[in-house]
């Protein structure tokens, strides 16, 4: 299932049942897992490993050299899990420093023109809408949603089951389970629809709503708000994750 116009380096490793479309280019240090499908004009290069069942649409480019001007050479990696979709013109760049890695998990849906810069870490079941952009070293946790044309500043984190509105400018961390929007983006409310769709229990949703009010609506400092949450809110796993995420924040969290 390899089109005769595709250019595949003899050293590349292709798993069983891969489909390589017209005018694709696969570099010498690339490993494609079983059942990967590359539509026309896809480029996969660099030290890049894709798991099973990934689908790359025309003009997607994965594993190419970082755009970071601090790049000094060496071996950098791009590692992608299983069953991801990369739509048209998506770019995923390799890491900057020797031995470093850009990581994309599994079951992600990356829509057209989205960009994942060097050293990003993207979890599982993430959706990035058209032209969403992650700068270097951004971390996106599982099941987050990033709206179209949103831009995330380097070293920011997007928490689990958070949603970032379209055209948002994210310059601070977006806490798990929250909805952030604006320029600059601030936390607006709980991501209630996302919680419901992903089967978060009613008890956990109520606890997260209580935690949101303490953290964002009572005028407390972050340390005092976290202490209140730990004292007053039921000690559910979602609350523990929220508190741990906010406590570990280095860029701060967007508040009104």
Q: What is the pTM of this model?
A: 0.98
pLDDT tens digits, 88-130: 999 999 999 999 999 999 999 999 999 999 999 999 999 999 9
Quick check: helix, strand or coil at residue 52? coil
pLDDT band at 256 (very low <50, low <70, confident <90, very high): confident
Domain at 226, CATH number: 1.20.1180.10
> Half-sphere exposure of residue 116, counting CA atoms within 13 Å on the CB side?
38
CA dist list (Å): 247 to 226, 229, 230, 252? 8, 12, 12, 9
Identify whether residues 25 and 119 lie together within a single domain.
Answer: yes
Residue 60 within any structural domain of the chain: yes
Do residues 149 and 167 lie in contact, with contact meaning Cβ atoms separated by under 8 Å? yes
End residue of a domain, out of 88, 119, 137: 137
* pLDDT for residue 254: 87
Residue 81 within any structural domain of the chain: yes
As for how many domains the chain has, the answer is 2
Residue 62 within any structural domain of the chain: yes
151-152, strands of its sheet edge to edge: 7-8, 25-26, 43-44, 61-64, 91-93, 115-116, 133-134, 151-152, 169-170
Identify whether residues 11 and 132 lie together within a single domain.
Answer: yes
End residue of a domain, out of 137, 155, 174: 137
pLDDT band at 5 (very low <50, low <70, confident <90, very high): very high
pLDDT tens digits, 198-238: 999 999 999 999 999 999 999 999 999 999 999 999 999 99
Domain hosting 44: range is: 7-137
Domain at 84, CATH number: 2.160.10.10
Identify whether residues 130 and 44 lie together within a single domain.
Answer: yes
pLDDT tens digits, 153-175: 999 999 999 999 999 999 999 99
End residue of a domain, out of 119, 137, 155: 137
* C-alpha to C-alpha distance for 135 and 152, rounded to whole angstroms: 6
Do residues 91 and 67 lie in contact, with contact meaning Cβ atoms separated by under 8 Å? no
Residue 49 within any structural domain of the chain: yes
- Which helix (H) or strand (E) element contains residue 37? strand 37-38
* pLDDT for residue 255: 84
* pLDDT for residue 138: 98
CA dist list (Å): 183 to 86, 170, 222, 225, 243? 27, 7, 22, 25, 25
Peptide bond just before 184 cis, omega within 30 deg? yes
């Amino acid at each position: 299932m390899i089109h005769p116009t595709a250019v595949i380096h003899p050293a590349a490793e292709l798993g069983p049942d891969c489909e390589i479309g017209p005018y694709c280019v696969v570099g010498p240090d690339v490993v494609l897992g079983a059942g990967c499908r590359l539509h026309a004009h896809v480029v996969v290069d660099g030290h890049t490993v894709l798991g099973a069942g990934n689908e790359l649409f025309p003009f997607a480019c994965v594993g190419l050299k970082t755009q970071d001007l601090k790049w000094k050479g060496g071996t950098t990696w791009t590692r992608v899990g299983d069953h991801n979709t990369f739509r048209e013109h998506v770019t995923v760049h390799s890491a900057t420093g020797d031995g470093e890695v850009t990581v994309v998990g599994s079951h992600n849906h990356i829509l057209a023109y989205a960009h994942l810069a060097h050293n990003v870490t993207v979890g599982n079941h993430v959706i990035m809408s058209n032209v969403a952009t992650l700068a270097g070293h951004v971390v996106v946790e599982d099941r987050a949603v990033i709206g179209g044309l949103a831009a995330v500043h380097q070293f920011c984190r997007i928490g689990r089951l958070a949603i970032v509105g379209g055209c948002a400018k994210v310059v601070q961390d977006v806490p798990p389970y929250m909805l952030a929007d604006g320029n600059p983006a601030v936390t607006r409310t709980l991501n209630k629809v996302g919680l419901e769709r992903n089967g978060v229990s009613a008890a956990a949703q109520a606890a997260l709503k209580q935690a949101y009010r303490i953290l964002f609506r009572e005028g407390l400092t972050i340390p005092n708000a976290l202490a209140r949450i730990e004292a007053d809110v039921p000690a559910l796993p979602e609350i523990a994750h929220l508190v741990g995420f906010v406590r570990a924040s280095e860029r701060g969290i967007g508040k009104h």
